[in-house]
Structure 1
Amino acid sequence: MRTCRRALTVLALTLPLAALGAVPVVDDNSGSAGSSYPPSGYGTAGAYAGGGATAQPSAQGQLFMQLQQMQDEISRLRGIVEVQQNDIQQMKQEALDRYKDLDSRIGAGGAPAAPANNSASDGGVNAGGAPVAPAGGASAAQAPQTSTEPGDPAKEKLYYDAAFDLIKAKDFDKASQAFSAFLRKYPNSQYAGNAQYWLGEVNLAKGDLQGAGQAFAKVSQLYPKHAKVPDSLYKLADVERRLGHTDKVKGILQQVVAQYPGTSAAQLAQRDLQRL
């Protein structure tokens, strides 16, 4: 009995010592100076190759770079669109201004303010004594051709009024054709000067700057005594400005101020000269 108790006592004393020997001993000072945590290569796409190579960007990094490039391209395209929208808005505003100006002139009446002088002229002359050429470099207009049809003021007025009604209806294409046909058929009519002027207005409303400039220039060249000459020259200056011929604009405006003082065209020309 005593022997069994002694054996149990020895076994109880030896078990803790055996368990203690099974626990691994960690030496905190065993690490070298170059060791680090986490271990080298942890979390990278792959091990470094060749000792000096850099790690390739991750898939997330490539996606971020592509997204940044797309945002930059979108910003550039937005800038282009804004510029185009501004240009379109400016063109619309200029067209609207032309229509408003045309409406105001239509309201002033389409009948001739004074009979046209149908004698041929040497062309318009600017303040410096140089002839005013039609817009677009066209040669000076020749004298109106003599119509083979006998003059009939009543018939001419009906023809002219029909062309003018097309302006009121804003059918500018047909109005341009009607006034051109009228001038071919009745070049010496008392309404010819007005028809020549309104042909310029119609072409301007259509956006045909070349045709408008030529029509306005012919008013002073073919009908130099007509009351529409100051207005036609002022409108010619406006056409030249739109065409970018700034060197011609000042001379035409000076001609209007010098030769037609007191007219509304001269007042507008004086205002524009101050802005140049």
Structure 2
Amino acid sequence: MRTCRRALTVLALTLPLAAMGAVPVVDDNSGSAGSSYPPSGYGTAGAYAGGGATAQPSAQGQLFMQLQQMQDEISRLRGIVEVQQNDIQQMKQEALDRYKDLDSRIGAGGAAAPAANNSSSDGAVNAGGNSVAPAAGGASQAPQTSSEPGDPAKEKLYYDAAFDLIKAKDFDKASQAFAAFLRKYPNSQYAGNAQYWLGEVNLAKGDLQGAGQAFAKVSQLYPKHAKVPDSLYKLADVERRLGHTDKVKGILQQVVAQYPGTSAAQLAQRDLQRL
């Protein structure tokens, strides 16, 4: 009886151990579809970062690329704007300098009376900077015909009206008025001054070609006029602005040599030292 109980006890203890030994062991790394880890689809971004051939950029990646392109374009446009601002500032400064210079010349009494003739005008230059010999009789180079007979009083009224347009800073109308005056009264005692101021007005407008032609004609048509030294000096300034540096030095040297003691000669000497 005691032996039977002992046998039953041993049997009861060994059955659970046998059952546990019969349970199959599952390998987690077997790669079976039902137990794979990590889940399907995980790591797509990593595959894209690793250069997978079939991976597509994410929405965040596309947005980053677009922002980068916009920043590059903004930087390029800022550079263009800065260059344009510098150019505009330089143009404004040059225009301001021309206006100040014009104001100072107006204040010197440009319209008070016709300038006296110079005693000499040998070697006047044309717009190209080449020497031209003055004709005998000085102002006889000016056109000998006009549209109406000379009337000093009427000429002065016409001339003063044109000069008032300069004072009013209406340079377009002033240019037209002086050009019309010279067509109507080419032999007037005011013609030399009108020719000079036509150059000043065109220079103030920024019309360098027109200014150069007007200044050159002062020495060509009125070679003994007192405005010749100033007109030649201004012609040198126009040639410098046009980039014709090879002509500037010759004109300045001519002013110094032929018109010593004038303010134009002093300015020309200063500019020669800076070249």
Maintained 8 Å contact 1:200/1:212: yes
CA contact (8 A) 2:148 2:184 kept: yes
TM-superposed deviation, 1:228: 0.9
How much does 1:274 deviate? Answer: 2.1
Per-residue deviation, residues 125-163 of structure 1 (Å, max 9, x unmatched): 4999942699999x9996323335443322222221111
Contact 2:139 2:224 in 1 (8 A): no
**1:108: how far off?**
0.7
Give the equivalent residue in structure 2 for 1:113: 113
How far apart are residue 60 of structure 1 and its match? 2.6
- RMSD across aligned positions (CA): 6.2
Contact kept? 1:200, 1:214, Cα under 8 Å: yes
Higher mean Cα deviation, 210-219 or 109-118? 109-118
Number of residue pairs aligned between Structure 1 and Structure 2: 275
Q: Structure 2 vs 1, CA of residues 6 and 199 (structure 1 numbering), >3 Å: closer, same or farther?
A: farther
Q: Is the CA contact (8 Å cut-off) linking 1:117 and 1:226 kept in structure 2? A: yes
Which piece of structure 1 moves more, 54-63 or 44-53?
Answer: 44-53
Contact persistence 2:159–2:190 (CA under 8 A): yes
Q: Is the 8 A contact 2:208 2:238 kept in 1?
A: yes
* TM-score normalized by the length of structure 2: 0.76
Unaligned runs of 5+ in 1: none
* Residues 202 and 167 of structure 1: CA distance in aligned 2, closer, same or farther (over 3 Å): same
- Matches of 1:264 and 1:37, distance apart in 2: 97
Distance 1:95 1:31 in 2: 84
Distance 2:97 2:129 in 1: 32
Aligned to 2:38: 38
Structure 2 unaligned spans of 5+: none
Is 1:135–1:236's contact at 8 Å kept on the other side of the alignment? no
Provide the secondary structure at the position in 1 that maps to 2:34: coil
Any conservation in 2 of the 1:133–1:217 contact (CA below 8 Å)?
no
Is contact 2:111-2:163 (8 Å) kept?
Answer: no
1:233-272 Cα offsets, whole Å, 9 max, x none, are: 1111111112222221111111111111222211221222
Change over 3 Å in CA distance of 1:233–1:112 after alignment to 2: farther
2:214 matched to which residue of 1? 215
Change in Cα spacing, 1:50 to 1:263, as seen in structure 2 (3 Å) is closer
Q: Judging changes above 3 Å, is the alpha-carbon distance between structure 1 residues 168 and 33 closer, same or farther for their aligned structure 2 residues?
A: same
Distance 2:177 2:14 in 1: 128
The answer as to whether partners of 1:126 and 1:255 remain within 8 angstroms in 2 is no
Shift of 1:2: 13
Deviations, residues 69-116 of structure 1 (Å, cap 9, x unaligned): 221121111111111111111111111111111111111112366645
- How far residue 43 of structure 1 moved from its aligned partner, in angstroms, is 1.3
Structure 1 pair 174–133 and aligned structure 2 pair: CA distance change class (3 A): farther
Q: Secondary structure at the match of 1:34?
A: helix
Quick check: 248-257 or 128-137, which moved more? 128-137
Once the two structures are TM-superposed, the CA of residue 15 in structure 1 deviates from its matched residue by: 9.9
Give the structure 1 partner of residue 132 of structure 2: 132
Q: When the two structures are superposed, what TM-score results if normalisation uses the length of structure 1?
A: 0.76
Q: Percent identity at matched positions?
A: 95
What SS does the corresponding residue of 1:136 show, helix, strand or coil?
A: coil
Q: Distance in 2 between matches of 1:126 and 1:16?
A: 126
What is the distance in 1 between the residues matched to 2:127 and 2:141?
22
After superposition, the C-alpha distances for 1:34-70 in whole angstroms (9 at most, x for unaligned) are 9999699741159799998474443333332232222
SS in structure 2 at match of 1:48 = helix
Identify which range, 187-196 or 41-50, moves more after superposition: 41-50
Distance verdict in 2 for CA 1:3–1:96, change over 3 Å: farther
